[in-house]
Chain A
């Protein structure tokens, strides 16, 4: 103890001397302009205020989604028109060379349709959402969010830095899991890893946005309907954050007992974001990266689905058997067998869950031209979808096993099969419970 005391005293002396020296040098060579701080203080007064802090956070999130939804509408339509025009050309070529029926089905109806759906539905929202989010990051707003939310993390026994790993998770959960390395305490790091999946990654955002705009705001005027769907997506994100806190609390009292360790957070001055750099960086680093990943997985998945749908065993296709098998569980959860099958086959990447679902529905029913969001909505309505199905789809998208990449990353980061399995089982159980309860209450 005496030795430790001495050690600390000497250490203090060294640190104090160093800081003193540094301060003297700094005073000689720098001039402090006391400008800008006032504005910063004014903004901070507002965004961290007792009454407006939380509502403003929610509002800002809503506005980001609103701009995304409104802005993505038109380009999505244009892109899908373009793709379907090209499908017509492809069909013409295939007929011209008298290609066999199965090859046409596999390549055009399977691979090409899956791809064009992914690109036309995912590209526009991503090209709008990512730059907006990066702008907020660049402005310096995220540390203020961490400042507002920190006491919740503390109370749930999680580390304060978890708000940073979570905002990485918005981009990609695998990245969020790797980012958990910044947390020194192994206990809190594991909590951050296990709960990162409760933040919807950009593989899931397009699905959330599509579902929300198709089913959550029907029967109201155009202008307010996009606002309502934006607020629904924001609420889904908030739900994810609340579940993160609840599960962290549960883990710190059971499997990973302990208190949260000390934490300091800098609130840097706001900076004028470099708009051009942000646009370029977020487009190439995020949009193209995610899209390419989706395309890489969607193409083979499209082919696989086509095979499953066209190989018949007895009377029905293989895919029909699989969906039928899952149907009872799906119905209990307010979903159906096809949706569950899509989530399971979508394990390689969340981006392809909706394409798989669409392809499966289409392979069962009549082939329709899926050339717009309203045609997509009609397809789902024909399959017996209601707003409840859409809501539970969004919730299960938020609350199910992480994608294959994230699971592999968790395995690598924790070095343990046990934690990896828990990371997959935990959210799935939460999702099944939440969906079942909601279906039961509404039904």
Chain B
């Protein structure tokens, strides 16, 4: 079974690979600028006290994204990748 979830659903401490970025316009450009492209490995680091934004490890730096934005990013969690390969 191949499971794809949106980035905001990835639990703290888990990693995954970006598959699709469904944002457009300025938001999309900003995400690409961070190095969030299909194939990038992302790890959820921590949630802010209110649960939004959430901080991720992206290419060696920790970046916080609002749930609005991370919802538009689809990822394949690592555990799933391991099972499929």
Considering residues B28, B48, B59, B65, which has the most beta carbons from chain A within 10 angstroms of its beta carbon? B48
Considering residues B23, B30, B62, B68, which has the most beta carbons from chain A within 10 angstroms of its beta carbon? B62
Q: Does B35 contact A (CB under 8 A)?
A: yes
- CB B42 to nearest CB in A, in angstroms, measures 13
Given contacts A48-B48, A264-B34, A266-B62, contact A147 B26 (CB under 8 A): no
Q: Does A91 contact B (CB under 8 A)?
A: no
Q: Please tell me if the beta carbons of A16 and B39 are within 8 angstroms of each other in the complex.
A: yes
**B:30-68 near A, CB below 8 Å:** 30-32, 34-35, 37-40, 45-46, 48-53, 55, 59-66, 68
Interface residue from A32, A53, A262 paired with B68 (Cβ < 8 Å): A262
**Across the interface, which residues of B come within 8 angstroms of A151, CB to CB?**
48, 50-53
**Across the interface, which residues of A come within 8 angstroms of B27, CB to CB?**
261-262
**Across the interface, which residues of A come within 8 angstroms of B69, CB to CB?**
262-264
Q: Please tell me if the beta carbons of A266 and B63 are within 8 angstroms of each other in the complex.
A: yes
- CB B70 to nearest CB in A, in angstroms, measures 10
CA distance A48 to B27 in the complex (A): 25
- CB A263 to nearest CB in B, in angstroms, measures 6
Of the 9-residue stretches A7-15, A167-175, A302-310, which lies at the interface with chain B? A7-15
**Across the interface, which residues of A come within 8 angstroms of B63, CB to CB?**
264-267
0/1 per residue, A1-44, Cβ < 8 Å to B? Answer: 00010001001100110011001000000001000000001001
- CB A290 to nearest CB in B, in angstroms, measures 33
Q: How large is the interface on B (under 10, 10 to 19, 20 to 34, 35 or more residues)?
A: 20 to 34
0/1 per residue, A420-432, Cβ < 8 Å to B? Answer: 0000000000000
Interface residue from A154, A262, A265 paired with B26 (Cβ < 8 Å): A262
Q: Please tell me if the beta carbons of A53 and B37 are within 8 angstroms of each other in the complex.
A: no
**Across the interface, which residues of A come within 8 angstroms of B23, CB to CB?**
262
Considering residues B37, B52, B60, B65, which has the most beta carbons from chain A within 10 angstroms of its beta carbon? B37
Question: Which partner residue on chain B sits nearest A49 by CB separation?
Answer: B49
Q: Does A54 contact B (CB under 8 A)?
A: yes
Q: Please tell me if the beta carbons of B50 and A266 are within 8 angstroms of each other in the complex.
A: no
Q: Please tell me if the beta carbons of A265 and B53 are within 8 angstroms of each other in the complex.
A: yes
Considering residues B38, B50, B65, which has the most beta carbons from chain A within 10 angstroms of its beta carbon? B50
Q: Please tell me if the beta carbons of B53 and A147 are within 8 angstroms of each other in the complex.
A: yes
CA distance A264 to B28 in the complex (A): 11
CA distance A184 to B25 in the complex (A): 13
Question: Which partner residue on chain B sits nearest A150 by CB separation?
Answer: B53
Q: Please tell me if the beta carbons of A261 and B26 are within 8 angstroms of each other in the complex.
A: yes
8 closest A-B pairs by CB: A151-B50, A262-B27, A53-B49, A265-B64, A267-B62, A16-B37, A15-B32, A262-B69
Could you list some 10 contacts between A and B, CB below 8 A? A12-B38, A16-B37, A19-B40, A45-B46, A54-B49, A150-B52, A152-B50, A262-B23, A262-B27, A262-B69
